[in-house]
Structure 1
Amino acid sequence: MRRRIKKAAVLGAGIMGSRIAALLAGVDIPTYLLDIIPKELDDQDVKKGLTKESPEFRNKLAQMGIRNTIGTRPPAMYIAEDVKLITPGNFEDHLPWLSEVDWIIEGVVEDLGIKKELLRKVEPYMKPGAILSTNTSGLSIERISEELSAETRAHSMVTHFFNPPRHMKLLEIVPGKSTDKDLLSFVADFCEKRLGKSIVFAKDTPNFIANRIGAHAVIGVMRTMVEDGYTIEEADAITGPPTGRPKSASFRTSDMVGLDTFIKVAQNVSDNVEDAAEKEAFAVPQFVKQMVESGLLGDKTQQGFYKKVAGPEGSQIYALDYNSMDYVPQRKPDLPILDELRKVADPATRLQTLVYSEDRAGLFAWKTLKRMLLYCAAKVPEIADDILSVDRAMRWGYNWELGPFETWDAIGLRKSVERMEKEGEKIPEKIERMLVSGRERFYEKRDGRSYHFDFGKADYVEIEEKPQIILLPSLKERTKLIKSNAGASLVDMGDGVACLEFHSPNNVIDSDVIQMMGESVAEVEENFEGLVIGNQGTNFCVGADVRQVFVAAQNKEWDSLELAIRQLQRALMAMKYSEKPVVAAPFRMTLGGGCEVCMAASMVRAHVEAYMGQVELGVGVIPAGGGCKEMLLRATDWVPESIPSAVPGGTKPDLLPYVTRVFETIAMAKVSTCAQEARGLGFIRPHDKITMNLEQLLYDAKQSVLNLVKEGYRPPRPRDEIRVTGRTGMALLELLVYLLQGGLYITDHDAVITKKLAYVLTGGDVDHNTLVTEEYLLDLEREAFLSLCGEEKTQARMKHFIETNKTLRN
């Protein structure tokens, strides 16, 4: 019988439990969220007239958990309607509900006794074959499940989600000794495809992989800081982006996690390992223990390693002086090399430059990295089968740019080991044997394929490539490159499908990208079945190259700027009306011109985390690549040409409400928080598809192209009878602008821009219900864009954005 997960239950409505429930609801899985019954009525309960038997009181904690998922930043829910799929309950009244569910996820407090007691109560209500998993961050699945029946243990495992579950891609799966292997494969496959997770299989050891290495690394930073007299600000400045870590670095991250939680994680390792040196390595510095005793727990108590202090000139960040245990105004570290490293995009180059510099920052980075690297080498295969699992866990779970062994490759294995030996460090035998055999890298690439070193086999092992994961760099290494320039490439994906890949700085649309768009459509029409537009950068596309536009406007190069816009419009129209299907695969930031590219495609296959929007107003212009036109068409296309009435031929439906909605979307620079919301805003259509797993996005987009071909794709017909609202619509939108300006909701220059936008969306100076063509609307877009580029305040907005990456409201 085919296994399916139709309904789930989450036990524990705390931060993690409620957010896991939100994730499940977001993929259309009805979910029960259960928690304990509060002990006593509080004042609010009494005011409401509740008793201890009232369902509202008994389900209070679960209901609170659901409420806490709404409006969080970053959002826990995809869209507000998802909450309807979560049903609150409690452990005393509603355990019989568990007989309906296919997957039970336990997510209560990290206490072995509490977890075991709860699962003993749960087991009698489980339906045969149901999956039971625990979201523990480090406790043993064998210990948690030891009192359950053999059948239940065969269906039990750890599924360790990282916080926030919607956004963090790592899921550590830890089997017990008797976990059914087929079930394990099913859960991994389900979580990859349906929940969008990247899976790492870990061993049943304390804290598994990511939290084991992560806690060790942070404690190493704390120790080095105290031993060598660095400040908290200095340590965070060094252990953030310069070492390939997130901006929150070590201490800001610890504040976010909570110091009490961090100590429990570290203590779990210390309590459950035998080696005295390893116990010592996880001993938290005394000043951190003192902080916890004093209630300085981080964000949850609004003071930890940092705190925000209100003053007459606004809030100021203070940092802890761990010697005096007083807070002092945050100081910018005097570490000149870090300013230089900000200009270096490649994390491997940054790391190598930093750790081999002899200044204060370099010495700190070297000492902390050395400790972490030696520890990781010693723990394989104890905590993971291979180095690949360790590196993936740290990249996916902690957002490191490079995992530990990738870091070692970056700084040079032999060079770093020689330095470690000079400093008296004991090098693990496996590393010594590796170097003696002439292997000086943990990873190698040969003929477009990747390999990692396996300590057990003492040789390189090919990294398995899943068919659902298409890697564009790998394709290009295998001579699949069709054509390329500085801004974009056309790559053969196989099966008659090509991929247009943007790789300009920040994936902006510049002249090179526009040129490659046109050439790609022509090439595909001649030699391929269809085209995917996608890439594997940080973002799909953040819009047009503002710097190019600004320079042209400053130099009054109006003819060249007009030509560039016209070329973009032509390229996107060629894409829209191509004989072959074009599928856009947006993900993360898909703004301005990037959004216009998607709207010109035959179909969109979006990653669920697609943040789409027409944000041109922020730099003083309006969409001019067809964005206004496409949004107008999408808003009004479904409206019938006439509605039955006593008037012969019927009457024309009023388009103004739909035009106004488009106007508001563009004028307010609305950006979706997910692909589902992008659909609601009109950036993607009802028939467009959503992919949960980013790594599978290009594969899914390719399959969408092949499906369109199989179905006999035919391009749409050019539009030459688009009904517009004309001067009537313009008057209404101008009134709206006037009211917003009068209420000081928008600036005077916002009013200038939005009036231009209104002029385009209503079809210009024409009568109500006039029929116009697409080319006519494109001309209006282009004229409005050029006119706004000549405005001094628009150029000021562009200049500010280029210099600060922030918008200016002037």
Structure 2
Amino acid sequence: MSENSKLIVRRAAVLGAGVMGAQIAAHLANADVPVVLFDLAAKEGDPNGIVKKALDGLKKLDPAPLASKERLAHIDAANYEQHLALLGECDLVIEAIAEKMEWKEDLYRKIAPHLKAGAIVASNTSGLSINKLSSTVPAEKRANFCGIHFFNPPRYMPLVEIIATTDSDPAMLDRLETWLVSRLGKSVVRAKDTPNFVANRVGVFSILAVMHHTQRLEMGFDEVDALTGPKIGRPKSATYRTADVVGLDTLAHVVKTMQDTLPGDPWHSHFQAPAWLAALIEKGALGQKTKGGIFRKQGKEIQVLDLAKQDYRTSAGEIAPEVAEILKIKNPAEKFAALRASGHKQAQFLWAIYRDVFHYCAFHLESIADNARDVDFAMRWGFGWAMGPFETWQAAGWKAIAAAVQADIDAGLAMSPAPLPAWVMARDGVHEPAGSWSAAEQGLKPRSSLPVYGRQLYPETVLGEAPAAKGETVWENAGVRLWTHAQDPKIAILSITSKMHAIGDEVLDGVLEAVSRAERDFDGLVIWHEAPFAVGANLQQVGEACAKGEFDKLEATVAKFQRASMAFKHAQVPTVAAVQGMALGGGCEFVMHAAHRVMALESYVGLVEAGVGLIPAGGGCKEFAIRAAQFGARQAGGELFPFLQNVFQTIAMAKVAKSALEVQEMGFAKESDDVVFNAHELLHVALGRARAMAQAGYRPPLRARNIPVAGRPGIATLEMMLVNMKEGGFISAHDYRVARSAAIALCGGDVEQGSRVDDEWLLTVERREFVELLKTPETQARIKHMLETGKPLRN
């Protein structure tokens, strides 16, 4: 490889078919990388039995490691006894076996003779010394060896830590980082070769601090989880539920690693599993994987371990009202001052866990990370914190918090007597527009200059960094903003600005105006904004109009929705939908009508109107009726029904695609559309795609005519499926009516089979069925219930 060449991975190998190994293999397959998954040869039966069992298990995991079940076919099972020669075909080898140094060393010796020249070999260890592992790799292979630490589950967790050894080739590391960021969609932190690296070092200490103060203040595990979840910007699983999900044995192992490898750490006395945790592990209560740990489920009841009673009780953790009021304070400085001043033990608990994490991060920044930004991003990407520890501290007033932390250290209240480093008191914060503080280099470090990050037009930023420019506004109203970006000022960008990007009247007006302006003044139009893409029609507006009986107004709004969708489809410039997150209902219909789609892998798309007693009427049914005709034209006898049957089930059951690959499989997108693994690259790719389409002389499709439809026989055939479901008690009478309306719209209405209609006819049919459903008390009740509870009503 030349110095500046890119990494090409035609085939990869993963060594170890455990929980992480199998899921890393799955994500490589998601990204169109063929994988060989290795493990030990089974002692009985099929030698590949261990791997095949792991692959079978991938299909059952939730959330799904595979973005499409079809990707399983691209993972080959192998074992170390028979198939090591296959490593000669692999450009990337990821070792993910158990965390035992001697096992890894033995495996490296075994695979070394079979490795392809120039192949990258990386260990997915979560904490063992990468330099020590490197010493067991043949000298000529060490330049291409490093640590590559994925977080569980690998498909969904953004963080990957890359850990260099003293021998790692810097150019190789750059190529690997570039590939991980763009091909696998990962967020990379370069970690130093210290125990547990960055995220686990801080994250596990944070858990230990929580455990220490839980015990000190005699608090319940459920009470602590109520405090350490979304209320402070942490995941819903908070602390103790997270421990159950990770596995109590796994947590104890990571703590033991810290105990064994960090004897000089000033917090070392806290690096041990509490007695109650050791007792749970000893009796096999390891958390979620054993159906019980700190929490367990008895029937429908969630129970929590009560240490005082030495038994489980109903989980009912609550935040005290006075503490809840403190947590509502918007100003971080005021919030932290109130926590410190409060005498309530919950407030004292929260201040203590923050204080000790701030203290720990400041003390260890020099040894564990290149700069403060890496620590903050590691905690965001690896542990799901809304803000990292340093930016939380900076937001709350750097000097005031530093003084309070040092005062608690001096008073013997902190978990360690170690003083804060001198640089802490000398600074006003760690993040500035020029970069983030590096304690090791005593200066500010700018972001990575790797070209791959130029594809991220709006990257994540930490507090104190200069955010990317917002672009030039061309026009806006209450629902949308039309603007341009410097990457290509002649491609307009349409962003929906309503709450959750719900589509109401103001958005529809905005879309129609934006398309008109794009046709007149620009070469293309990209629809892009942060996730979600759109949660569908503005139900609040629909519900209010129903309550007033304004059905003529509602029909006019639906007609406008259809015009907006058709404007996307038939615009005289290419329209590109850049999709991430949820695109539901009307959002899905906008996606379907764009000339092209650029989708983040994590796109969740579906026509979900049935959940509120309606059918798609923004052109969704019309689009599928047209596609059914196109499908039929390719079949002997022009048979439409096989296509319609699948689509009907998708609409009637409000199925949602759980990845961009499924979006294509379910027909909401085309095979020729783009799937981008890193959502931060969406806008860059969409602008490029719109430019390429414009340069190729884009021509919009003509309005559809002479569309053969399934008509009355098609409706009757689809209805037969409903009869059985209704008689079996699987659907209600109103479910039946809603699904029948979908059948009517998909089959072109009450006409003869094979009748030829145009797209305007199909739009009229779906609009009429939609409005008739709106008039029913059952659909109105469903809309009201959804607005009040956020959940569907079965009536």
Give the TM-score normalised by structure 1: 0.91
- Which residue of structure 2 lines up, in the alignment, with residue 516 of structure 1? 510
Aligned to 1:573: 566
Distance in 1 (CA, whole Å) between partners of 2:468 and 2:19 is: 43
Q: What is aligned with 1:409?
A: 394
Aligned partner (choices 537, 549, 553) of residue 556 of structure 1: 549
Distance 2:134 2:554 in 1: 67
> Any idea what the Cα deviations from partners look like across 1:462-510, whole Å, max 9, x if unmatched?
5458320012998884552223344332221231122212232222112
SS of 1:587's equivalent?
Answer: strand
Confirm or deny: 8 A CA contact 2:217 2:345 kept in the other structure: no
- C-alpha displacement of 1:408: 1.4
Aligned-residue offset at 1:360: 4.0
For 1:771-810, list aligned pairs within 5 A. Answer: 771-810=756-795
The residue correspondences of 1:572-611 to structure 2 (distance < 5 A) are 572-611=565-604
Root-mean-square deviation (CA), in Å?
2.4
CA contact (8 A) 2:372 2:431 kept: no
The corresponding residue for 2:208 is 219
- The aligned amino acid for 2:514 is S
| Aligned pair partner of 1:119 in 105, 108, 112 | 108
Describe the SS at the equivalent of 1:610: strand
1:727 aligns with 2:712: yes
Instruction: Evaluate the alpha carbon distance shift between residue 572 and residue 246 of structure 1 in structure 2; reply closer, same or farther with a 3 A threshold.
Output: same
1:415, distance to aligned residue in structure 2 (A): 2.9
SS in structure 2 at match of 1:37: coil
Per-residue CA deviation, residues 265-313 of structure 1 (Å, 9 max, x unaligned), is 1221222124252312423323222222232211122221101123xxx
Amino acid of the structure 2 residue aligned with 1:253: T
* Deviation readout 1:411-453 (Å, 9 max, x if unpaired): 222332233344345433211010xxxx3x43345xxxx7434
Q: Does 1:370 align with 2:355?
A: yes
Aligned twin of 1:236: 225
For residue 278 of structure 1, the aligned residue among 264, 267, 270 is: 267
Per mean C-alpha deviation after superposition, the further-off stretch among 170-179 and 782-791 is 782-791
Q: 1:351 to 1:186 in 2, by over 3 A?
A: farther
**CA 1:347–1:603: 2 relative to 1, 3 Å:** farther
Specify whether residues 456 and 492 from structure 1 end up closer, same or farther in structure 2 by C-alpha distance, changes over 3 A only. Answer: farther
Q: 1:675 aligns with which of 628, 652, 660?
A: 660
Structure 2 residue aligned with 1:469: 456
Secondary structure of 2:783's aligned partner: helix
For 1:341 and 1:692, the matched residues in 2 are separated by 39
Aligned residue for 1:251? 240
1:243 and 1:350 in contact (8 A); partners too: no
Deviations 1:514-558 (A, max 9, x none): 222122112212222211111123x22111122221121112122
1:432 — aligned with what? 425
Counterpart check, 1:75 vs 2:64: yes
Pick the aligned partner of 2:35 from 27, 31, 37: 31
Residue 661 (structure 1) aligned to one of 640, 646, 663: 646
Offset at 1:394?
Answer: 1.0
Change (3 A) 1:59 1:476: closer
Counterparts of 1:594 and 1:443, CA distance in 2? 37
- Picking from 81, 92, 96, the partner of 1:103 is 92
Q: Choose from 615, 618, 625 the match for 1:632.
A: 625
- Distance in 1 of aligned mates of 2:337 and 2:267: 30
Q: Is residue 593–residue 623 contact of structure 1 (8 Å, CA) maintained in 2?
A: yes
Cα pair distance change 1:709/1:24, threshold 3 Å: same
Report the CA distance between 1:459 and its aligned residue.
Answer: 5.9
* Alignment of 1:531 onto 2:525: yes
- Closer, same or farther: CA 339–374 of 1 in aligned 2, 3 Å: closer
Say if 1:351 and 1:506 are closer, same or farther in 2 by CA, change over 3 A.
farther
Deviations 1:699-733 (A, max 9, x none): 11111111111211111111132221222222222
Aligned with residue 481 of structure 2, among 458, 483, 489:
489
SS of equivalent to 2:579 = coil
| Match of residue 390, structure 1, among 371, 375, 388 | 375
Distance 1:598 1:343, change over 3 A: farther
Q: Match of 2:481, SS?
A: strand
- The answer to whether the Cα contact below 8 Å between 2:363 and 2:420 also exists between their aligned partners in 1 is no
Change beyond 3 A, Cα 1:619–1:338:
farther
* SS of equivalent to 2:156: coil
Letter in structure 2 aligned against 1:524: A
Separation in 1, partners of 2:503, 2:139: 59
**Greater Cα shift, 499-508 or 699-708:** 499-508
Percentage identity across aligned positions? 37
- Output the CA distance in 1 between the equivalents of 2:255 and 2:73: 38
Q: Is the 8 A contact 2:226 2:319 kept in 1?
A: no
Q: Name the amino acid aligned to 1:468.
A: R
2:17 equivalent among 13, 19, 24: 13
Please give the secondary structure, in 1, of the residue aligned with 2:762: helix
- CA–CA distance in 1 between the matches of 2:471 and 2:239? 42
Instruction: Quickly say closer, same or farther: Cα 1:636–1:352, change in 2 above 3 A.
Output: farther
Q: 2:18 is aligned with what amino acid?
A: G
Report the alpha carbon displacement of residue 348 of structure 1 after superposing the two structures with TM: 6.2
| Rounded Cα–Cα distance in structure 2 between residues aligned with 1:629 and 1:700 | 29
- Picking from 534, 546, 550, the partner of 2:539 is 546
3-state SS of 2:605 partner:
strand
Q: Partner amino acid for 2:754?
A: N
Tell whether the 8 Å contact from 1:472 to 1:491 is kept in structure 2 after alignment. no
Flag the 1:210–1:486 CA change in 2: closer, same or farther, 3 A: farther
Q: Does the 8 A contact of 1:335 with 1:360 survive in 2? A: no
- Deviation for aligned residue 1:739: 2.3
Alignment correspondent of 1:418: 403
**One-letter code of the match for 2:298?**
V
- Aligned runs of 1:29-68 on 2, under 5 Å? 29-39=33-43, 41=44, 50=45, 56=46, 58-68=47-57
Residue of structure 1 equivalent to 2:430: 442
State how far apart, in whole Å, the 2-side matches of 1:330 and 1:368 are: 22
AA paired with 2:56? Answer: R
Helix, strand or coil: the match of 1:201? strand
Gap change, CA 1:103 and 1:413, over 3 Å in 2: same
Q: 1:747-772 CA deviation, whole Å, 9 max, x = no partner?
A: 11101111111111111122222222
Secondary structure of the corresponding residue to residue 638 of structure 2: coil
- Residue 627 of structure 1 deviates from its aligned partner by 1.0
Bigger mean CA offset, 456-465 vs 711-720: 456-465
- Confirm or deny: 8 A CA contact 1:25 1:83 kept in the other structure: yes
Q: In structure 1, what is the Cα distance between the partners aligned to 2:335 and 2:298? A: 34
Q: Give, in whole Å, the separation in 2 of the partners of 1:499 and 1:281.
A: 53
For 2:513 and 2:331, the matched residues in 1 are separated by 33
Aligned residue among 616, 621, 625 for 2:614 = 621
- Structure 1 SS opposite 2:237: coil
Report the count of equivalent residues: 772
Q: Could you say what secondary structure the match of 1:531 adopts?
A: strand
- Unaligned 5+ runs, structure 2: 411-418, 461-465
- Which whole-Å CA distance do the structure 1 matches of 2:480 and 2:441 have between them? 40
- Measured after TM superposition, the shift of residue 737 of structure 1 is 2.0
User: Partners of 1:349 and 1:744 in 2: how far apart?
Assistant: 57
Note closer, same or farther for the CA distance 1:380–1:413 as it changes in structure 2 (3 Å cut): same
C-alpha distance after superposition, 1:148-185 (max 9, x if no partner): 22221111011111111111111111011100111111
Distance 2:454 2:240 in 1: 40
* Between 657-666 and 167-176, the greater mean CA deviation after superposition: 657-666
Residue 637 of structure 1 aligns to a residue whose secondary structure is helix
Q: Quick one: distance in 2 between partners of 1:351 and 1:199?
A: 32
